[in-house]
Amino acid sequence: MSTRVMPFRGSLTSREQVSVYEFSWPTIILIPLVAVLIQIFIPVKVRFLPIVDLPFMVTIFFATARRNPITGCLTGCVIGLMQDLFAGPSHPLGMYGIALTIIGYLASSLGVKIDVDNPGSRFLITFGFFGLHQGVYYGVAHGLLRQGLQWSWSHTAISALANAVIGIFVYKFLDRFKQR
Amino acid sequence: MDTFLGRYRNLIVLAAILFAQIIGLALQVRRPTDAGETRLIRLWAVSAVTPIESAVIHSQEWVGNLWTTYIYLHGVRRENRELRAEIGQMKIEEARLSEDARMARRIQSLLAFKEQYIDSTIAAQVIGTSGSEQSRVLYIDKGSNDGITTDMAVITPSGIVGKIAQVFPDSAQVLPINDQFSGVGAALKDSRLQGILKGAPNGATTLQYIMSDEKVVPGEEVVTSGGDRIFPKGLPVGKVVSSEPGKDLFLNIRVIPSARLDQLEEVLVVTKITEKMPDAKDLGPLRASDILAERLPTVPNKTEVDAAGNAKPGGAASSGTTPAGTGSATAAGTAAHPATPGTGTNKPGVGGTTILNKPAGAAAAPHASAPGATPEMNGTVKPKATTPANGRPAGTAVKPSSNNAAPAANMQPRESGAQDNGEASTPAKKQVKPAPESTPKAPSEQPPTPPTGAPPQP
């Protein structure tokens, strides 16, 4: 509901105090839901959209804005499980859940340390975490489930770049829902 | 202890959440499930979301239709003209192809082929995707309430799409052929090499398990082989893009699907496939030109009469003498000459053989009993008869029945008709001379072996 100001805990990028944002309950529920729905149904008309991972961006946004690793974990877990629900019969529930749980935890932990409100850092965070997200997903699929996924560095890099660029605008839009 | 928990609280929570999910994952993977079983949480999620998105998609469709159907009509007249012209050309083509198809069905019936027919389909709208790159499943707006069940084939007019993976009350999940967990029995159309079409994580489709010593040319069409018991045989799958030796003994054949899997909006779900024997009787009514050709008195061409003046019975299956009654008249021929005496017993198999000989340019025996048949024809046929009443020996039963075998002349128009499929009226009108006597034909005049695979007549 309000903006709390955390005491300075050693930010690596700014000497300013790090702001912790909060969100209303409808926002917390509806934004991930809408993101998952868009991710599922818009590709019927816009075919390139699967390369853009909106639930992933929403996870990073909430995690970095609230800067609480536990809520970051839970947010990533819930959004990932929602994404898992629609991912096909050969896709066990929990693959995206595990990946986004880790992303949520790391993003919120990183949000405590650095200023994640400017576009440059958002670009880098999204780019780096997307690669990690894909790596975790691949590790779960390959290591735990023995699924024969193919890893492509070039495809992952292009996807990460696309998500990082689009993410800047998505985060800018989502900033409106922050409550000060 | 409190200090430890407080210090590592975040990590402990993370580990607990991950542990719970991994346990859940493991339970799912190890659980023996039936193919048709659906987890309740998935059912709830899809059922809750499907109506909303159905409404959104249909609204969008409605607005789009309003625009394209009523407002944006630029170029419609010109396009209409072009389409009409195209329809005209296609009608001509269709007439030719339908004759070929009929002929093929006759041959198939003789070979006792079982064909799979698509009996009924349901049109469905694609309303969703998996939303991820790792899975390419689609959601359609028809479900178990519409009669959809798992493992039904999903197709478009241009090619196959996939199969039904899961069914919900008002929607269903389609596993497309380019999904990495998909597999379709496929064959190369020309070389008939069979393999399995599999998807890849990047959405490419490859035809696998074709030995690397086979030659596969890019551009060759790939069709369903029917081996997976889901898709009927012969549906278009795609075209070969490239073929190169793989790591193992098999070729690495990339196939581009015929159906635009990334632009699907409407699909057809095949709800019923029946297997039945093709029936030559179901080939539709005989055309007027055929009947006319059979009724007109005709004489053979000079080429059809040997040196002794004996008529070759249509150039077909000369040696095939059948005893009277086992004769060769086709059902069609019989229908055309119901009142002709001594037409003989027209057995379906015999008739089929007669028809079978048509493509080889053989004379059609239905004219055996045509008006103008001369009594001299009796007994002039070769005694080297094939098995009487067999009806199956290739090129044998086309001989007219011996008691009133038709003049070869009568067969002549039919021969023309055989080449032209029903266009026999013209030659029939030309041939007005009395028919010469029919005698055994020279071996050199034997027709080629019919495509039944039966050995040629000696």
pLDDT in tens, A7-53: 444 444 554 556 778 888 888 899 999 998 888 877 777 766 678 89
A43: which chain B residues are within 8 Å (Cβ-Cβ)? 129, 131
Confidence of residue B229 (pLDDT cuts 50, 70, 90): confident
pLDDT at B8: 82
Residues 6+ apart with CB under 8 A from B199: B136, B176, B177, B178, B179, B180, B181, B182, B205
| Tokens representing residue B254 in the block | 């990339």
C-beta pairs of B283-286 under 8 Å, 24+ apart in sequence: B283/B102, B283/B105, B283/B106, B284/B102, B286/B332, B286/B335, B286/B336
- The answer to whether the Cβ–Cβ distance between B181 and A90 falls below 8 Å is yes
> Which of A163-167, B230-234, B429-433 is the most confident on average?
A163-167
More confident: A20 or B257: B257
Q: CB under 8 Å to A124, separation ≥6 — which residues? A: A164
For an interface test with B, which of A41, A73, A108 has the most B Cβ atoms less than 10 Å from its Cβ? Answer: A41
Q: Do B131 and A96 touch (CB under 8 A)?
A: no
Chain B partners within 8 Å of A158 (Cβ): none
> What pLDDT score does A17 carry?
57
Comparison of pLDDT for B354 and B146, the residue scoring more: B146
- Length of chain A as a residue count: 180
pLDDT for B5 equals 72
What residue in A sits closest to B181 (Cα-Cα)? Answer: A90
Please name which of B272, B281, B284, B268 lies closest in space to residue B116, comparing C-alpha atoms: B272
As a whole number, the mean pLDDT across chain B is 66
pLDDT of B353 > 70? The answer is no
Q: pTM value?
A: 0.53
Torsion of CA A126, A132, A133, A139, to 10 degrees: 170
Which residue among A83, A101, A149 sits closest to B18, beta carbon to beta carbon? A101
**Helices (H) and strands (E) in chain A — how many of each?**
6, 2
- Positive or negative CA dihedral for B111, B114, B120, B125? negative
Residues 6+ apart with CB under 8 A from B5: B12
A73 contacts B180? CB cut-off 8 A: no
Note whether B135 contacts A90, CB cutoff 8 Å: yes
Note the ipTM here. 0.70
